[in-house]
Structure 1
Amino acid sequence: MTDETNEGALNGIRVVELGQLIAGPFCGQLLGDMGAEIIKVEPPEVDGPNGRSGGDPMRHWGHGDAKLWWEVVSRNKKSVSANLRVPEGQELVRKLAATADILIENFKPGTLERWGLGPEILHEINPRLIIVRVSGYGQTGPYSSRAGFGGIGEAMGGWRYIVGDPDRAPSRMGVSIGDSLAATYGCMGALAALHARERTGKGQVVDSALYEAVLQVMESLVPEYLVSGHIRKRTGSILEGVSPSNVYPTSDGEYLIGANQDAVFARLCTAMGRPELAADDRYATHIARANNLHELDETIAEWTRTLTVDELEALMIEHSVPAGKIYRAPEMLDDPHFAAREALVEVESERWGKFRMQNAFPKLSGTPSSIRTPAPVRVGQHNDDIYRGLLGMTETEISELKAAKAI
């Protein structure tokens, strides 16, 4: 895992990442996986009543005894420390921005401007700079100054209302999907802006709002209401109007089957030994199956309960029915398809030793993305490389920054 192995499409692109927690850093992770150099700016460590604190809070996030989220979201990054609340730290960011292609931030709108780091100033320093701004509500509008986390964006964008069982309060996914979507759209916007810069020679601002990123994946939810008055509701494990598509019980677990297309449903019926169901007026068409969804699900469940997961999977493969096991981490680690495609790759951390994590996706045939370096262990681990090596600062200047608590 070294920079010498970098064949990524974004090799030669430099990114300054100012964001913390999830949305900004995940955008940086995506760009870094594609080969960009990511300089992550973190608050310097300081002594406090509870010991030393500082750095991105993601360093301490995760589940279980080992907090490993940082290892994923900060791979391929270099850490420098800078206190953005003091003039000296702000000046460091201006110097870094002068050398960069992209700057990422996910502070509340107006924060960069208060620090003297707004787009007008940064573009005066570097007109080619692309500034990715991820926030709850976007940089404009009556809600722009509100604090907003991923869950708020999921609620406003329409996601939360339709997730969960209909007789209970809205549920959430087990991952921070709102943050990840906004980060992904921020990354996509940065790539588009890089292409536009080839024509115009100028950078621009990419404004990615959490609620809009969620809204973008809500399919036809709004037009359905406008045209027919339909409001989508929570439907639990099924998708309203799509059948059969559910998790079905087996003798030793559960199994997911998605056979809602007419020809696929006919193949499922053959696998069940019930080919006549495909011609039954109750199930013969997509609309008919939707109208008799619960009855059909119970018929399928009665059959799947007589089989083990492995037996059911063998039949689904034989009859070319889209279906699959419900995976946890142990199943992923043991699966031959994961192994063949290197979906999980081994990395080595100074703190945790060797372990596997998800690879860089999607796969590019000519300029492959990769995990080249592990997440930085220490806040400011690359201060010398960046401040001395890239910016050419002297020992005296570095000492002055430390004295001013800027790094």
Structure 2
Amino acid sequence: MFGAVKNLVGTTCISMLKGIQVLELAGLGPVTMCGLILKDYGASVHRILNPNAPFIDHLLSPGKPSVPLDLKNPSDRQRLIDLCKSADVLLDPYRPKCLDRLGLAPDILHKANKRLVLTRISGYGQPESSQDIDYYLRPGHDINYLAESGILWLFIGERGKSVYPINVIADIAGGAFPAVTGILLALYEREKSGLGKIVDVSITDGISYVSTYFMASCQLDGQNEFNPLSSLVHWHSLARQCANLLDGGAPFYRIYETKDKKFVAVGALEPHFYANLLRPLGLTEKYAPQLDRHAWPRIAAILSGIFVSETRDYWCQETDLVRSACLSPVYSLKEAMDRRPKHLYRDLNFSFSPLAGATRDEGGFSIRIPRPCPLLSDFPAD
């Protein structure tokens, strides 16, 4: 679970989707993560696995029983239709028109179950006419969707040196979470109409949506009378990475290397946080003006020299910096898992094994998440 929902007496609810039956056609990141989220909140999720698939990722599938179906086989296609008769949600990870060509078009599925919520997650969305079908049928992955959304451009630094974002931005933020949102909205509307819906998720559009703030700043040319920092946020046609407020250009919103080859992150955006950053370091606003973009490289060089003089843990023990200046240690993945406080309200702490499943700590109680069923189990399986 990524957040906690409580009832009026303060008990964490983890089964709000209990009774919802989900069929997940096995695919890569977005669909698998979407199924995981639904399962974590109580839905029953069964994966439809092609026994002949060359590659299947099980890392996000603990507690999801599997059903072997080769959808190129007519009898297996009919079995999927039969399974859909009692399902609430079908997750489709394939490129547009793939299920249609297999005789599993939306009208066929909804004829079997008018309450079914068919959720299609694809890189570029579903074609609206035959004229633009080639655009939507193209293959792609996270980096391609980021590129065409315009967001990858923000990661290209000076002289073309780039930072390659992992597939959290596109596949998860732009794909899985919009899909979950659409499914929940469709299930809510179904309570009134009695009818299922088609939820179409374009990962490229999803990236643009979660990046609305930056898209808007580009359209408005960075002018916002209510926010004096807005002119520093704007990404114009010449500004690359490390030239803007939130991309490492601002010395007060940046990553700094420390003496032990580790890093600290500074997020002192607001003027009072910036003042709290300068004071313990022996600097002043007059010497290091926050809103003077031309002074940023000089200030960044000064801060770099200061932070590299001591270790990461030294800086993170400086109470004034940590509590009042938005300074944080940059942890590796292993460090983050080992050192993150065990939140009572969020079961983010868990150990995972592809074979044994996961154990999460929920409010002081150990909750055993069911281990995955055999890779090709009979349906239903628990």
- Alpha-carbon distance between aligned partners in 2 of 1:338 and 1:173, rounded to the nearest angstrom: 27
Question: 8 Å contact 2:23–2:91 — kept in the other structure?
Answer: yes
- Alpha-carbon distance between aligned partners in 2 of 1:121 and 1:225, rounded to the nearest angstrom: 43
- For the pair 1:157 / 2:149, whether they are aligned, the reply is yes
Aligned counterpart, 2:332: 328
Q: Which has the higher contact order (CA 8 A, sep 6+)?
A: 1
Aligned counterpart, 1:147: 139
- Alpha-carbon distance between aligned partners in 1 of 2:85 and 2:149, rounded to the nearest angstrom: 36
- For the pair 1:304 / 2:299, whether they are aligned, the reply is no
Question: 8 Å contact 1:251–1:306 — kept in the other structure?
Answer: yes
Aligned counterpart, 2:204: 211
Question: 8 Å contact 1:42–1:56 — kept in the other structure?
Answer: no
Question: 8 Å contact 2:241–2:249 — kept in the other structure?
Answer: no
- Alpha-carbon distance between aligned partners in 2 of 1:87 and 1:371, rounded to the nearest angstrom: 38
Q: Matched residue of 2:200: which SS?
A: strand
Matches within 5 A, 1:8-407: 8-44=15-51, 54-55=52-53, 57-59=55-57, 70-71=58-59, 73-141=60-128, 142=132, 143-168=135-160, 170-175=162-167, 177-181=169-173, 182-228=175-221, 230-231=236-237, 233-236=239-242, 239=247, 242-252=250-260, 253-274=262-283, 277-278=284-285, 280=286, 283=289, 285=290, 287-288=291-292, 290-315=293-318, 316-317=320-321, 319-338=323-342, 342-347=347-352, 349-350=354-355, 372-378=369-375, 380-381=376-377, 383-385=378-380
Percent identity among equivalent residues? 23
Question: 8 Å contact 1:221–1:232 — kept in the other structure?
Answer: no
Change over 3 Å in CA distance of 1:215–1:373 after alignment to 2: same
- Alpha-carbon distance between aligned partners in 1 of 2:248 and 2:263, rounded to the nearest angstrom: 21
Using the size of structure 1 for normalisation, the TM-score is 0.76
- Alpha-carbon distance between aligned partners in 2 of 1:318 and 1:372, rounded to the nearest angstrom: 35
Q: Matched residue of 2:56: which SS?
A: helix
What amino acid is aligned across from residue 91 of structure 2 in structure 1? I
Question: 8 Å contact 2:253–2:267 — kept in the other structure?
Answer: yes
> Residue 171 of structure 1: CA displacement?
4.0
RMSD across aligned positions (CA):
3.0
Q: What stretches of structure 1 of length at least 5 have no aligned partner?
A: 1-5, 45-53, 60-69, 390-407
What amino acid is aligned across from residue 323 of structure 1 in structure 2? L
Aligned length: 345
What amino acid is aligned across from residue 244 of structure 1 in structure 2? F
> Residue 338 of structure 1: CA displacement?
4.8
> Residue 377 of structure 1: CA displacement?
3.9
- Alpha-carbon distance between aligned partners in 2 of 1:209 and 1:233, rounded to the nearest angstrom: 28
- Alpha-carbon distance between aligned partners in 1 of 2:315 and 2:79, rounded to the nearest angstrom: 60
What amino acid is aligned across from residue 166 of structure 2 in structure 1? G
- Alpha-carbon distance between aligned partners in 1 of 2:25 and 2:76, rounded to the nearest angstrom: 12
Q: What stretches of structure 2 of length at least 5 have no aligned partner?
A: 1-12, 222-234
Residue deviations 1:64-110, cap 9 Å, x none? xxxxxx23x11221100111012111111111111011100011111
Q: Matched residue of 2:370: which SS?
A: coil
Using the size of structure 2 for normalisation, the TM-score is 0.80
Question: 8 Å contact 2:142–2:170 — kept in the other structure?
Answer: yes
